[in-house]
Structure 1
Amino acid sequence: MPLHKVIYLSNNTKLYLWKITEDLDTLSKDMRLKDSSIARLKSMKSESHQKGFLSVRKLLEHTGYSDFDLYYDEFGKPNLKPQSCSIKEMHISISHSHDFSALAISDKNIGIDIEILKEKIIKIAPKFMNQIHLENLTSEVKIRKATVIWGIKESIFKIKNEKGISFPKHIFENNFNFEDKKATATLDFNNKIEQFSVEFDVFDNYMFVCAFEN
């Protein structure tokens, strides 16, 4: 299946979604990969992870980049090589969950997370968030809100990518209304307080969350 959807967010950010319906042969057809990517792909034991890896490269091609423009720093954070036609440095973030892959490109430092909506999130919520955010909500709204909060923490972690950051101890989401599709959060780590703005929404029983470093 081709590109599923492009979502235009604030701060000159585009979110690209790919719904994975192809087999591995179809995804890999005519795709050029650098040697390190071929080795990484072969090392993956899960077919789901292989499809996620390849579909992200399909998204890169759709945006005018390729696997050769993508590199990872020493901490494993993805980056884009600057293009001669672009004045601004562009930032990238990547996520994969079940049947979807996501890629966000922005002129701001960003983190993206997509998650399928599952009841299981309510059971593990006490491990990563303040339960006050889920009080007096229906079961469906609890699942969605807890998924957003997980996504907030995951996205901020992707932006900072620093060893030692704890979801419950260092990343704090401010109270928000789910209907607003926006939130704010704070990272309090290593004697430094940083603020983040967040956008989120539901698509095809999944949630995307995109955090921006203020």
Structure 2
Amino acid sequence: MGLAYHKQIDSKTSFAVWKIEESAEDLYSRLQLNDRENAYLDRLNSGKRNLHWLSTRNLLRKMLNTSLYIDCQVDDHGKPYLINFPHHISFSHSFDYAAVMISEDKPVGIDIELVKSKITRVAKKFMSPEELAFINSENQIPHLYTCWCAKEAIYKLHGKPNVSFKDHIRLRPFDYKGEGCFQATLKTDDEMSFDVHYECFADYMIGYVAGFTPVNNTGVASLPLKANKLFDEK
């Protein structure tokens, strides 16, 4: 199927979602990859990991609308960046979908997740007691997924290690409505404020951030918690 959804955030920022129905061979044939990228693909397990990687790169090529080679690399912390294009980028994937967000003038972060009831079992690992208190019991599962996607998107935009979803990324109370915007902060050595946007897509939740506002220096130490591994089986 390929491109399933595209949203223009502003004149320089957008995201899109790709439905993965192609084979790995088909997706691979549409790309220009160098020896480093081919070696990385060889190390991936066959199946979803391979398809997710290929799908995000196909979607990135479509969004950049180019026939040129796209030199996409990752930094020491695993954050992707482009060498020969000016755009900031963020990737996400979950089961049958991949998502890519790009911007020419601001850092971005996006997360897509298949909504499943299991999130209730891990909510206390990434949510503070104050955040759990504003979750609507009637929409508990999608409300929790919105919070997870928000924190994951902020984590990806920030792109630095040793960030605790529970202790460092805090969400302002918001009512879940299926689509909307709310505020959040990230407090490590510095403090940043974000407008987080979310929306439902099929049986999935999408959360994204574009840019941030510096607040002040807080001097809060980083904590080594790999919170973003809670859903690594997708």
Bigger shift: residues 24-33 or 97-106: 24-33
The whole-number CA distance in structure 2 between the counterparts of 1:176 and 1:12 is: 28
The whole-number CA distance in structure 2 between the counterparts of 1:115 and 1:62 is: 22
Q: Deviations over 1:57-108 (max 9, x none)?
A: 111221225663312122211112354xxxxx42110001100000001121
Q: Deviations over 1:117-153 (max 9, x none)?
A: 0001111111111311225x21xx1111101111111
Bigger shift: residues 26-35 or 47-56: 26-35
The answer for the alignment partner of 2:20 in structure 1 is 20
The whole-number CA distance in structure 2 between the counterparts of 1:76 and 1:5 is: 26
Pick the aligned partner of 2:147 from 140, 146, 149.
149
Q: CA deviation at 1:52?
A: 0.6
The answer for the alignment partner of 1:174 in structure 2 is 172
The whole-number CA distance in structure 1 between the counterparts of 2:195 and 2:147 is: 13
The answer for the alignment partner of 1:131 in structure 2 is 132
The whole-number CA distance in structure 2 between the counterparts of 1:108 and 1:30 is: 28
Pick the aligned partner of 1:102 from 95, 99, 105.
99
The change in CA–CA distance for 1:90 and 1:174 in structure 2 (over 3 A counts) is same
Q: Which amino acid aligns with 2:107?
A: N
Q: CA deviation at 1:37?
A: 1.2
* Count of residues in Structure 1 that have an aligned counterpart in Structure 2: 205
Q: Give TM-score scaled by structure 1 length.
A: 0.89
The whole-number CA distance in structure 2 between the counterparts of 1:4 and 1:115 is: 15
**Where in structure 2 are the equivalents of 1:35-184 lying within 5 Å?**
35-63=35-63, 64-65=65-66, 68-83=70-85, 89-106=86-103, 107-129=105-127, 130-135=131-136, 137-138=137-138, 141-179=139-177, 181-184=180-183
The whole-number CA distance in structure 1 between the counterparts of 2:133 and 2:9 is: 29
The whole-number CA distance in structure 1 between the counterparts of 2:201 and 2:69 is: 27
Q: What is the DSSP-based 3-state SS (H/G/I as helix, E as strand, rest coil) of the residue aligned with 1:196? A: strand
Q: Where in structure 1 do 4 or more consecutive aligned residues deviate above 4 Å?
A: none
Q: Which amino acid aligns with 2:59?
A: L
Q: Give TM-score scaled by structure 2 length.
A: 0.82
Q: CA deviation at 1:46?
A: 4.2
Q: Which amino acid aligns with 2:77?
A: F
Structure 2 unaligned blocks of 5 or more: 214-234
Contact 2:2 2:21 in 1 (8 A): no
The whole-number CA distance in structure 2 between the counterparts of 1:128 and 1:7 is: 28
Q: Which amino acid aligns with 1:6?
A: H
The whole-number CA distance in structure 2 between the counterparts of 1:16 and 1:112 is: 10
Q: Deviations over 1:165-193 (max 9, x none)?
A: 10101100001122251011001112x21
Q: Which amino acid aligns with 2:6?
A: V
Q: Deviations over 1:18-54 (max 9, x none)?
A: 0001121222124211211111111111410100111
Bigger shift: residues 19-28 or 199-208: 19-28
Contact 1:82 1:90 in 2 (8 A): no
Contact 2:153 2:208 in 1 (8 A): yes
The whole-number CA distance in structure 2 between the counterparts of 1:103 and 1:147 is: 19
The answer for the alignment partner of 1:86 in structure 2 is none
The answer for the alignment partner of 1:200 in structure 2 is 198
> % of aligned pairs identical?
33
- Between Structure 1 and Structure 2, which shows a larger proportion of helix residues? 1
Q: CA deviation at 1:161?
A: 2.0
